[in-house]
Amino acid sequence: MRLFEFLILTAESLVGVVEATGDSDDGRQPIIIDTDLFSDVDDVGALAIANVLHNCGLADLRGIVLNTPSHYGALAASALCTYYGNDVPIAAFRLINNDTFFDSFYYLYGEYASKLAYHWPRKLDSAFSTPTPVELYRTILSSAKDKSIHIISIGFLTNLADLLKSEADHISPLSGLELAAQKVSELIIMGGEYPSGWEYNFGGIDPESTAHVVHHWPKSVNITYSGSELGGNIFSGQSLVQRLPPDSPVLSAYQWYVGRGSTLRPSWDPITTLYGVLGLDLPSKIGVRPMLEYGNESGYNSIVLANGSNVWINDTDITNQHWLRLVDGANYSMAALLDEFLSHDPSLKSCFRYDLLSENAKDMPMFVGNRGIRGKTGHVE
- Interface contacts to Ca ion, rule CB under 5 A: 36, 43, 154-155, 269
Least distance CB 68 / Ca ion (angstroms): 9
Select from 121, 375, 151 the least CA-distant residue to 276: 151
Least distance CB 268 / Ca ion (angstroms): 7
CA distance 45 to 34: 14
- Based on CB atoms, which residue is closest to Ca ion, 36 or 339? 36
- Based on CB atoms, which residue is closest to Ca ion, 23 or 229? 229
Around Cβ 137, how many Cβ atoms within 10 Å? 30
Least distance CB 276 / Ca ion (angstroms): 13
Helix, strand, coil shares of the chain as percentages rounded to 5?
Answer: 35, 15, 50
Select from 357, 120, 331, 80 the least CA-distant residue to 243: 357
Total residues belonging to the chain: 381
Ramachandran angles phi, psi of 328, nearest 5° = -50, 130
- Based on CB atoms, which residue is closest to Ca ion, 46 or 127? 46
Around Cβ 125, how many Cβ atoms within 10 Å? 10
- Based on CB atoms, which residue is closest to Ca ion, 47 or 171? 47
CB 135, CB 171: distance < 8 Å: yes
- Based on CB atoms, which residue is closest to Ca ion, 144 or 154? 154
Least distance CB 354 / Ca ion (angstroms): 30
Around Cβ 222, how many Cβ atoms within 10 Å? 17
Least distance CB 381 / Ca ion (angstroms): 11
- Based on CB atoms, which residue is closest to Ca ion, 269 or 340? 269
- Based on CB atoms, which residue is closest to Ca ion, 88 or 364? 88
CA distance 360 to 236: 15
Least distance CB 204 / Ca ion (angstroms): 11
Least distance CB 269 / Ca ion (angstroms): 5
CB 124, CB 75: distance < 8 Å: yes
CA 223, distance to chain mean position in Å, is 14
